[in-house]
Structure 1
Amino acid sequence: MRCTVRKEIQEAVAAYEDKPRDQWLFDYPAQVGLTGSQVWWATDVGIAFGRVEEGFETALKDYNKKQITQLNSLIHMLVGHLTPGDRQKIMTICTIDVHARDVVANLISQKVSQAFPWLSQLRHRWDDETRHCYINICDAQFQFSYEYLGNTNRLVITPLTDRYSSVLHQSF
């Protein structure tokens, strides 16, 4: 089971840019799509920070516009006909996407450049060399366990739950 989840995440991350995200999501199980989306969110924010350092001052704002477009696309899908499983998957990804959009909007409003507000976020990344997914927060890193979680909903992330998560992960 863990080997399969790991293999699916690897394939999903590699295929992410091959088609529009709202189509890509249907190629993978919910957990894999959510994890792949989180990997690419952290990757895209990292790329935007790199572009800001290169002199492209609007890179984070441009990425935030992309986030809003992606989120609107998912919301539009929820209004249409979906199977119960696909509806649950899209609603879960929307929940995480709203938080991701808010994080980037806050980074923009605070004029952050890879400082603590970004590093304190739970960030997923795929390492091609080790072929593993890692989860980072602050200076801690954990290997993804690949335990099957299924197609479940996620809690809405609020500033309070976000702070609690940061404190909890710092204690490890």
Structure 2
Amino acid sequence: MRSTVQREIQEAVAAYEDKPRDQWLFDYPAQVGLTGSQVWWATDVGIAFARMEEGFDSALKDYNKKQITQLNSLIHMLLGDLTPGDRQKIMTICTIDVHARDVVASLITQKVTNGQAFAWLSQLRHRWDEETKHCYVNICDAQFQFSYEYLGNTNRLVITPLTDRYMCSICS
């Protein structure tokens, strides 16, 4: 079971840019799509920071606009006809995407310009390591290998500043 989840996440992360995200999500089970989305969120923010260092001052704002477009697309999908499983998957991804959008908006407001700022490092960030073929979860200076345990297609708690502070206090 764990090796299947790992293999599916690897495939999903590799295929993410092959088609629009709102179509890509239907190619994978909920947990895989959610994890792949989180990997690509952290990757895209890292790319935006790299572009800012190259002189593209609006890179994070541009990415925030992309996030809003992606979120609006998912919301539009929720207004349509979906299977119960797909509806749950899209609602869960929307929950995570709203938090991701708010994090990026906060980085913009705080004028964060690089990926070494605490405001970014204190976020729960997923990443795929192509060399080891594993997903890792980072927060602050802690790194954990993803366990690939089956979580199913379940609700996620809404992420608030309080839950963010709790996660950050675990690292301290």
TM-score, with length taken from structure 2: 0.95
* Aligned-pair Cα RMSD in Å: 0.6
Distance 1:91 1:162 in 2: 20
Which digits, 9 at most, give the CA deviation of each residue in 1:84-107, with x for residues without a partner?
000000000000000000000000
How far did 1:30 drift? 0.0
CA distance in 1, matches of 2:101, 2:29: 23
Deviation at 1:116, TM superposition (A): 0.1
Q: Does 1:11 align with 2:11?
A: yes
Structure 1 position 114, deviation (Å)? 3.4
Matches within 5 A, 1:34-113: 34-112=34-112
Q: CA deviation at 1:66?
A: 0.2
Runs of at least 4 residues of structure 1 off by over 6 A? none
Q: Distance in 2 between matches of 1:125 and 1:46?
A: 11
Find the residue that maps to 1:134 and give its secondary structure: strand
Distance in 2, Cα, partners of 1:160 & 1:68: 23
CA distance in 2, matches of 1:148, 1:28: 14
1:4 CA displacement: 0.1
After TM superposition, give the deviation of residue 160 of structure 1 in Å: 0.5
Q: Which residue is equivalent to 1:160? A: 162
Query: SS in structure 1 opposite 2:153?
Result: coil
CA distance in 2, matches of 1:114, 1:86: 36
Q: Distance in 1 between matches of 2:36 and 2:162?
A: 25
Q: Does the aligned pair in 2 maintain the 1:31–1:151 contact within 8 Å?
A: yes
**Scaled by the length of structure 1, what TM-score is found?**
0.95
Q: Percent identity between the aligned chains?
A: 90
- Of 117, 121, 127, which residue of structure 1 is paired with 2:123? 121
How far does the alpha carbon of each residue in 1:105-159 deviate from its partner, in whole angstroms, 9 at most, with x for none? 0000000153001000000000000000000000000000000000001000000
- Deviations, residues 3-52 of structure 1 (Å, cap 9, x unaligned): 00000000000000000000000000000000000000000000000000
- Conserved 8 A contact 1:49-1:114: no
Structure 2: where are the runs of 5+ without partners? Answer: 167-172
For residues 68 and 75 of structure 1, the distance between their equivalents in structure 2, rounded to whole angstroms, comes to 10
CA–CA distance in 1 between the matches of 2:163 and 2:132? 31
Distance 2:164 2:69 in 1: 24
Listed as ranges, the gaps of 5+ residues in structure 1 are: 165-172
- Determine the C-alpha separation between the residues in 2 that align with 1:70 and 1:119: 24
Distance (Å, rounded) in 2 between the aligned partners of 1:65 and 1:106: 14
Distance in 2 separating the partners of 1:18 and 1:130: 23
Whole-angstrom distance in 1 between the partners of 2:130 and 2:17: 16
1:12 & 1:41 partners in 2: Cα distance? 13
Is contact 1:135–1:143 with CA below 8 Å preserved after alignment? yes
